[in-house]
Structure formats: structure tokens, C-alpha cells
């Protein structure tokens, strides 16, 4: 595992994670991809089921075709790397979906530790089958989430392309002792 990334203040590191949808053409270095996969592999799951596999996609033509599939993954067309999360598709849909969220969050974080940005894409309806057919994935698998990875393209004027979205105040979210 490559550990040449800089130490971080963990609260800020977690707090500041954002979704970024526009990327430069520069590919992630090998060491970053190795770390992403290492951290993804060690993601916790209910009963340690590890109900996932990953397809790394770098071919721009394939990325563009995936981006056009039904769902919300248009940003994939501009990513230098796509990581498709392939879930086992077991009867434990609820737990698989929850664990898939844990996995996606960790991939976003480890990429960010390497100065990379990411966005979660989501296939719906026929988009799921189309992506499976495109990449030769067995039909029983569940294909839903893809992560776009790359360095942020801040545009010619350097303005951030995707500003921080506001959040609800804690007073609306937190209940102490009971609801």
C-alpha cells in the first residue's frame, strides 16, 4: 500500500468532502488507484459479507456509453477513471445497499486523500442492464453505483465548479434522549 500522502486533520478531512463533477484529463497515478482499492477492499460489511467487486474503466468511449445509460451518471463522460461497484445481488437487498453506501463513501475519501475528487453516479431502470451488457457482467449481479474519479477542473477562471451545498442546522437534526 502506498502511504506517501500527506497527514490530514481528520475532522476537516471528513467535513470537507464534496462531490465534484468536472475533471481534467490527467489520470490518477497508480499509487492512488492502489490505495483506493486497498481501502475499498477493507470496507466493513454486515457479517463481513464483502458482497462486492469492482470494474475499473479508463476507456473514454466506454465511459461515455456508461454516462449515457439511464440514471444520473453523466459526469462519468469526463472522468479519467470510473469505478463501477458490482454488488452480489443477493436477497439481502437492504444490507447490500447500506454497505454499498459505506463503500462509496470510503472510495471518495481515499481518492480525496490523494488530491483526487469524485462523484457518485447512479444507474436506474434499463441503465443497469445496459451497463452489465456493455461490460460483460453476469445478469444476476446488481449494478447501480459508479464513481467518477479525477482531478478537479476548476475552469479557466479557477472558480470552483461545484460549490458546497448548504446543510440543515443541527438544531433540526439532533434529538437528545428521545424524539
Chain residues 63-82 in contact with a second copy, contact rule CB under 8 A: none
Nearer residue to a second copy within complex by CB, 15 or 156: 15
Nearer residue to a second copy within complex by CB, 24 or 38: 38
> d(Cα 55, Cα 146) in Å, to the nearest integer?
9
Nearest of 154, 149, 152 to residue 32 by alpha carbon? 149
Nearer residue to a second copy within complex by CB, 54 or 151: 54
| H or E element, residue 84 | strand 81-87
CB atoms within 10 A of CB 82: 24
Pick one of 29, 60, 90, 101: the residue that binds a second copy (CB under 8 A).
101
Instruction: By CB under 8 A, tell whether 9 contacts a second copy.
Output: yes
DSSP secondary structure, 37-55, as one string: HHHHHT---GGG---EEEE
Supply the minimum distance, in Å, between the C-beta of residue 156 and a second copy: 27
- Which of these ranges, 3-11, 21-29, 146-154, 155-163, lies near a second copy under the rule CB under 8 A? 3-11
Q: Which parts of 20-49 interact with a second copy (CB under 8 A)?
A: 35, 37-44, 46, 48
Q: Quick one: cell of 94?
A: 437492504
Instruction: By CB under 8 A, tell whether 8 contacts a second copy.
Output: yes
Instruction: By CB under 8 A, tell whether 179 contacts a second copy.
Output: yes
> d(Cα 21, Cα 118) in Å, to the nearest integer?
7
- Total residues contacting a second copy (rule CB under 8 A)? 74
> d(Cα 38, Cα 107) in Å, to the nearest integer?
10
Q: Which parts of 106-165 interact with a second copy (CB under 8 A)?
A: 106, 108-110, 113, 120, 122, 135-138, 144-145, 165
> d(Cα 62, Cα 51) in Å, to the nearest integer?
25
Amino acid at each position: 500500500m502506498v502511504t506517501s500522502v500527506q497527514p490530514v486533520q481528520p475532522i476537516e478531512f471528513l467535513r470537507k468532502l464534496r462531490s465534484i463533477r468536472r475533471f481534467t484529463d490527467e489520470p490518477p497515478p497508480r499509487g492512488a488507484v492502489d490505495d483506493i482499492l486497498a481501502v475499498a477492499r477493507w470496507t466493513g460489511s454486515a457479517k463481513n459479507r464483502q458482497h462486492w467487486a469492482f470494474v475499473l474503466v479508463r476507456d473514454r468511449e466506454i465511459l461515455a456509453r456508461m454516462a449515457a445509460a439511464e440514471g444520473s451518471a453523466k459526469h462519468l463522460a469526463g472522468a479519467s477513471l470510473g469505478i463501477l461497484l458490482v454488488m452480489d445481488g443477493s436477497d439481502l437487498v437492504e444490507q447490500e445497499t447500506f454497505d454499498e453506501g459505506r463503500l462509496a463513501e470510503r472510495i471518495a475519501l481515499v481518492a480525496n486523500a490523494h488530491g483526487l475528487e469524485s462523484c457518485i453516479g447512479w444507474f436506474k431502470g434499463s441503465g443497469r442492464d445496459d451497463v452489465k451488457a456493455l461490460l460483460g457482467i453476469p445478469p444476476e449481479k446488481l449494478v447501480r453505483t459508479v464513481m467518477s474519479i479525477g482531478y478537479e477542473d476548476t475552469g479557466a477562471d479557477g472558480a470552483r465548479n461545484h460549490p458546497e451545498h448548504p446543510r440543515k442546522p443541527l438544531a433540526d437534526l439532533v434529538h437528545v434522549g428521545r424524539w
